[in-house]
């Protein structure tokens, strides 16, 4: 049997030869609601985020060694408002160097938290992070050079929700944990003792880490949640290291209202959405029409593409079951208009840049996996435009305020490309317009055995000692060197 063969189970682990154990939670495990730090009403002093080693039970009954941010696994959901400045104190107690990057925020390079803003063990990084952008779902995670994949996998990640006047007034569900939920989706591998594991190999470098067990908010899926009768809002983050997830509902289409950088112009009904690592989508589920609905995830979701072929077809499972109570909840209807979003204007662009992602620059990945064992380090095995990531080299210099077209190309596989310090619009993917749900503000774009083009503008500065990054968000590829740096001045 192939080590990746999927076995459906309920309530127990099933041994998969020479790999791990596939775990699934018995029906009825309640959804874990990530604790919220709500700053919308005001900020009282500095906001402490402590990166710490911990142990965490994902639902296997065993304590896994993890990293957490103020918690045993993952961080709080931070909710802030446009116009605020967030005074963070990020304390690193993990026994290794780390960084925290604010993925999706439109902020200057010196508070971005990229690989140059290392926090030594035992010290505190205190950026004042200005929230200038509109309502959007963002996140934060380790961006430690060569160690991002392992540190993020172990738990150094969290969600940062930005609200604005319009989103706070909007006729949408917004009672956290009642009709408004944050879902952090991740794939994990657990060993036969039920402990989370992460082992590097040549395959893991090439494909990125592919866990066989779905975890939602730090607990093994499926989860169940009782909800009032009415509209339910799900704010979803794919925080997998490398897996693309195809999401769908058991009954009816998904009603997508937002993407990475904010609300769509109007709701989009989609049979399914394909989410890359790093992407966020917000959806509404109408719990008046049905007494129960399931959010399903296809672990090999890219429609018969590279991963599905490699890993043996669809792996459809339920991530979350919503069950209706007879309490009335948010009784409004799906809004018809959400945001003022004009179509992107490629004719505004004055600069075009090209990026060629490369998986193989001749390095012996198997030897690297053995040598480095627990982190990808070194960053010399993959490249963009022929150059593996080098902390001492600035790859691009961008002028603040210029509108640019970035064309990203790959020869093989499907790669999720991310750019710091901005939101962009996708112009084209292999010559086609992106799916309607991906036509709003984005900071991630799929590049599938071909090329994608985005229209982007940078409004904040990133000097050469704290440049922005662009990279593949398959974290093992990023750690292997599929990343570059740019300044904005
Ligand atoms: Cu989500 Cu450069 O990272
Ligand atoms: Cu980022
Ligand atoms: Cu990649």
Predicted pLDDT at 377 = 66
Residue 213 alpha carbon to ligand 1 centre in Å? 23
> Can you tell me the distance from the alpha carbon of 138 to that of 243, in angstroms, rounded to the nearest whole number?
19
Q: For residue range 63-104, what is the model confidence (pLDDT) as tens digits?
A: 999 999 999 999 999 999 999 999 999 999 999 999 999 999
Residue 103 alpha carbon to ligand 1 centre in Å? 5
Tell me the whole-structure pTM to 2 decimals.
0.94
| Nearby residues of 198 by Cβ (< 8 Å), 6 or more positions away | 150, 153, 154, 189, 209, 374
Neighbours of ion ligand 3 (CB under 5 A): 415, 472, 474, 477
Residue 474 alpha carbon to ligand 3 centre in Å? 5
Atom of ligand 1 nearest to the CA of 420: 2
Enter the CATH code of domain 3-22+171-328.
2.60.40.420
Predicted pLDDT at 375 = 67
| Ligand found nearest the CA of 114 | 1
Ligand 1 atom 1 nearest Cα: 103
Contact between 158 and 103 (Cβ < 8 Å): no
Q: For residue range 342-375, what is the model confidence (pLDDT) as tens digits?
A: 999 999 999 999 999 999 888 888 888 887 666 6
Residue 179 alpha carbon to ligand 1 centre in Å? 29
* Average of per-residue pLDDT across 394-408: 98
Atom of ligand 1 nearest to the CA of 478: 2
Same fold: 3-22+171-328 with 346-488: yes
Mean pLDDT of the chain, nearest integer: 91
Structure tokens that stand for 381 in this block:
């095995």
Predicted pLDDT at 12 = 42
* Ligand 1 first shell, C-beta below 6 A: 101, 103, 141, 143, 278, 418, 420, 469, 471, 473
Statement: residue 318 has pLDDT above 70: yes
> Can you tell me the distance from the alpha carbon of 23 to that of 26, in angstroms, rounded to the nearest whole number?
10
Predicted pLDDT at 374 = 60
Atom of ligand 1 nearest to the CA of 103: 1
Predicted pLDDT at 371 = 79
Residue 108 alpha carbon to ligand 2 centre in Å? 12
Largest CA distance in the chain: 61
Distances (CA, A) of 369 to 199, 206, 372, 445, 476: 9, 11, 5, 28, 11
Q: For residue range 415-454, what is the model confidence (pLDDT) as tens digits?
A: 999 999 999 999 999 999 999 999 999 999 999 999 999 9
> Can you tell me the distance from the alpha carbon of 388 to that of 398, in angstroms, rounded to the nearest whole number?
20
Ligand 1 atom 3 nearest Cα: 103
Q: For residue range 246-263, what is the model confidence (pLDDT) as tens digits?
A: 999 999 999 999 999 999
Residue 272 alpha carbon to ligand 1 centre in Å? 25
Ranges of each domain in the chain:
3-22+171-328, 31-165, 346-488
| Ligand found nearest the CA of 280 | 1
Q: For residue range 12-36, what is the model confidence (pLDDT) as tens digits?
A: 444 443 345 566 666 668 999 999 9
Residue 5 alpha carbon to ligand 3 centre in Å? 23
| Ligand found nearest the CA of 471 | 1
Predicted pLDDT at 19 = 44
> Can you tell me the distance from the alpha carbon of 363 to that of 366, in angstroms, rounded to the nearest whole number?
9
> Can you tell me the distance from the alpha carbon of 302 to that of 304, in angstroms, rounded to the nearest whole number?
6
Question: Does the domain at residues 31-165 carry the CATH identifier 3.30.499.10?
Answer: no
Residue 120 alpha carbon to ligand 2 centre in Å? 21
| Ligand found nearest the CA of 410 | 3
Contact between 269 and 311 (Cβ < 8 Å): no
Atom of ligand 1 nearest to the CA of 470: 2
Atom of ligand 1 nearest to the CA of 101: 3
Atom of ligand 1 nearest to the CA of 139: 1
Distances (CA, A) of 434 to 30, 175, 429, 438, 453: 35, 32, 6, 6, 10
Contact between 23 and 212 (Cβ < 8 Å): no
| C-alpha 276, offset from chain centre | 7
First-residue to last-residue Cα distance in the chain: 55
Residue 183 alpha carbon to ligand 3 centre in Å? 24
Residues in a beta bridge with 285 = 232
> Can you tell me the distance from the alpha carbon of 283 to that of 273, in angstroms, rounded to the nearest whole number?
10
Higher pLDDT, 205 or 158: 158
Predicted pLDDT at 299 = 85
> Can you tell me the distance from the alpha carbon of 436 to that of 421, in angstroms, rounded to the nearest whole number?
24
Contact between 473 and 260 (Cβ < 8 Å): no
Top CATH class of 346-488 equals mainly beta
Predicted pLDDT at 310 = 52
Atom of ligand 1 nearest to the CA of 278: 1
| Ligand found nearest the CA of 141 | 1
> Can you tell me the distance from the alpha carbon of 240 to that of 474, in angstroms, rounded to the nearest whole number?
8
């Amino acid at each position: 049997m192939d080590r990746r063969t999927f076995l459906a189970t309920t309530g127990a682990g099933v041994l998969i030869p020479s790999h791990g154990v596939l775990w699934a939670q018995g029906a009825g495990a309640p959804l874990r609601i990530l604790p919220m730090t709500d700053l919308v009403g005001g900020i009282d002093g500095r906001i402490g985020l402590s990166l710490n080693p911990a142990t965490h039970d994902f639902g296997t009954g065993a304590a896994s060694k993890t990293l957490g941010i103020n918690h045993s696994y993952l961080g709080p959901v931070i909710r802030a408002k446009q116009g605020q400045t967030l005074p963070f104190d990020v304390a690193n107690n993990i026994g290794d160097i780390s960084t925290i990057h604010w993925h999706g925020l439109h902020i200057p390079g010196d508070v971005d938290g990229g690989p140059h803003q290392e926090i030594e063990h035992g010290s505190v990084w205190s950026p004042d992070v200005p929230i200038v952008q509109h309502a959007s779902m963002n996140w934060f995670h380790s961006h430690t050079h060569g160690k991002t994949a392992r540190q993020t996998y172990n738990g150094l990640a969290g969600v940062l929700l930005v609200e604005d006047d319009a989103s706070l007034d909007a006729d949408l569900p917004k009672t956290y944990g009642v009709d408004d939920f944050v879902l952090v989706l991740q794939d994990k591998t657990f060993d036969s003792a039920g402990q989370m594991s992460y082992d590097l190999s040549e395959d893991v470098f090439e494909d990125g880490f592919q866990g066989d067990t779905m975890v939602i908010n730090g607990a093994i899926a499926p989860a169940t949640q009782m909800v009032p009768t009415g509209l339910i809002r799900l704010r979803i983050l794919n925080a997998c290291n490398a897996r693309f997830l195809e999401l769908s509902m058991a009954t009816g289409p998904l009603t997508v209202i937002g993407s990475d950088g904010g609300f769509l112009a109007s709701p989009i009904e989609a049979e399914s959405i394909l989410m890359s690592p790093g992407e966020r989508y917000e959806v509404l589920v109408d719990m008046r029409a049905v007494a129960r609905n399931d959010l399903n995830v296809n672990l090999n979701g890219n429609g018969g593409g590279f991963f599905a072929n490699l890993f043996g077809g669809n792996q459809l499972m339920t991530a979350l079951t919503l069950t209706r109570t007879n309490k009335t909840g948010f009784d409004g209807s799906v809004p018809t208009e959400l945001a003022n979003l004009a179509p992107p204007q490629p004719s505004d662009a004055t600069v075009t840049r090209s990026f060629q992602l490369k998986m193989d620059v001749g390095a012996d990945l198997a030897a690297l996996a053995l040598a480095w064992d627990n982190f990808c380090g070194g960053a010399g095995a993959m490249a963009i435009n022929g150059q593996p990531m080098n902390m001492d080299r600035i790859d691009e210099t961008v002028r603040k305020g210029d509108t640019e077209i970035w064309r990203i190309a790959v020869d093989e596989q499907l790669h999720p490309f991310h750019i710091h310090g901005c939101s962009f619009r996708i112009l084209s993917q292999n010559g086609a317009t992106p799916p309607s749900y991906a036509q709003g503000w984005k900071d991630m774009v799929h590049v599938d055995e071909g090329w994608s083009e985005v229209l982007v503008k940078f409004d904040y500065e990133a000097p050469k000692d704290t440049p922005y990054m662009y990279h593949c968000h398959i974290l093992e590829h990023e750690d292997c060197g599929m990343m570059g740096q740019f300044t904005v001045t």
